[in-house]
Structure 1
């Protein structure tokens, strides 16, 4: 894993953990003691938690792609079939392809 993303990932995870602990504290105050102000704080912190989680998802995805590129560069640059220029996208259907037959023929009438 690349150094900068590793440090950023650990820092983001720590931020996520702290946000979760803050939500837990206020949610406990609300559910156990009926503290309405704690409910408002918990809901606000849950929004922050969601934002942090989305940032972390993005960082993880970017790091994953960087690792794949590094791996491809180290193992795929030796020529041969493909030459390391492949993409990880799923194959696209052909525009004029014939429709596929069902795997199983239809059952008997009235079945």
Structure 2
């Protein structure tokens, strides 16, 4: 579980440059990378939610 959370944090950090390029400089390609990265974050978050729910229900 800690590994999944660490992966989520690393992924957020990796998107920082593209956020800056898109919002500050208007780089449209960076916006595409941000959208793709956010979709991956959504999936990582969902995986964590499912794991937490499974552990909660197991007790």
More RCO (CA 8 Å, sep 6+): 2
Give unmatched runs, 5+ long, in structure 1. 1-8, 69-111
Of 5, 23, 33, the match for 1:31: 23
Q: TM-score scaled by structure 1?
A: 0.49
Structure richer in helix, relative to its length: 2
Mapped partners of 2:53, 2:16: distance in 1: 27
> Number of aligned pairs?
59
Please tell me whether Structure 1 or Structure 2 has the larger radius of gyration of its CA atoms: 1
RMSD: 1.1
Q: TM-score scaled by structure 2?
A: 0.87
> What's the counterpart of residue 13 of structure 2?
21
CA-CA distance at 1:60 after TM superposition: 0.9
